[in-house]
Structure 1
Amino acid sequence: MRALLPAALFVLTGTAAFADQPKLAVFDFELIDTSLPGEFYGSKPENERMLRIGDQLRKELAQSGKFQVVDIAPVSDAARHSNLQACGGCDVKLAGQLGADLEITGVVQKVSNLILNLNIYLRDVHTGNLVTVASADMRGNTDESWSRAMSYLIRNRLLAPNYGKPE
């Protein structure tokens, strides 16, 4: 069994050459909408925002030089038709099909238009183990609040030099 803890720590601190960078699959985010408006009118604005923050996450992690972000297109249909948070490891299996070392899934929970939460889960594809979780609360359901929450998590959690390291 291949352990990727050193690679995961590199992800958070990295200085290795591109060839040594872990391959990362970033799946589209999922929505848990328990709000009253979502129940009555659906979640169209949130669905569009989830696609945007997924693209933002892929772009910023690729630009960081710490990852080789892989294209999820070959498995995106299967991922879209699964609940990646509760499918018994199908996310890890799909990422493995892409040749990824690490994979990210994410969930946005909408309680109301004022209270939302963004969660990111980073897993080691080879072991299935959770490497880290990053979470941010959002106040306000706007494009700007979603983008800022994602930027915060990328900058201060996923790419922070000491995040995920034992003290």
Structure 2
Amino acid sequence: MKRALFLWLLAGLLSASAATAQGLVPLRDGARVAFLGITFIDTSTEGAYNPVRSDETARLALVRDYVEARFAEDGFTIVDLAPISTELASVTNPADCYGCETRLAARLDADYVLVGEVQKVSNLILSMNLVLRAVPDGEVVRARAVDIRSNTDDSWLRGMRYIFKTHIFAEG
């Protein structure tokens, strides 16, 4: 009985790992990426009653800078957003704008568009995600969401590092 349970669990783990690895589309070396930023969404009780916290604004910039640096380290070119800055300023959340992110990135002649979100449920529970889409068709090339515990610089960076390690730059 124990052996059958062990084999069943092992088979499930192996098939899940294989499916994940096979599902990754290879990224083009030296590709141009339009990184439209990371949107902070505060659905916590604190957010309902208090203004935006300066430490969370600073963390958002910290994570955004990390994402840009990480893509640059891996040989991608982060394109200048100046030509679309007016339109981008009018978009509340580029990660949830019915394909506007792909259309904006196409105007920049980007190969990929990258958007992210950090959602604060409470000071203990936050969720972050990053989505990389091909331009111009909008096909999701890489996407990952993780939950993090605690609202600190370290936890935010740890969550983003995990996204990169396990999916964005994982080998397919």
Please, what TM-score do these two structures have when normalized by structure 1?
A: 0.79
Higher relative contact order (CA 8 A, sep 6+): 1
CA–CA distance in 1 between the matches of 2:144 and 2:96? 18
CA offsets per residue over residues 97-151 of structure 1, 9 Å max, x none?
2110101111111100000000111111121222221111110001111111111
In the alignment, structure 1 segments of 5+ residues that lack a partner are 1-7, 163-167
Moved >6 Å (runs of 4+): none
In the alignment, structure 2 segments of 5+ residues that lack a partner are 1-23
Maintained 8 Å contact 2:103/2:136 = no
Maintained 8 Å contact 2:34/2:80 = yes
When Rg is computed on C-alpha atoms for both structures, the one with the higher figure is 2
Q: Which residue is 2:26 aligned to?
A: 10
Secondary structure of the corresponding residue to residue 29 of structure 1: strand
Alignment RMSD (CA, Å): 1.8
CA–CA distance in 1 between the matches of 2:97 and 2:111? 19
Number of residue pairs the alignment of both structures matches: 147
For residue 47 of structure 1, the aligned residue among 34, 57, 63 is 57
Change (3 A) 1:46 1:114: same
Name the aligned partner's letter for residue 135 of structure 1: A
Name the aligned partner's letter for residue 46 of structure 2: P
Q: Which residue is 2:128 aligned to?
A: 118
For residue 90 of structure 1, the aligned residue among 100, 120, 126 is 100
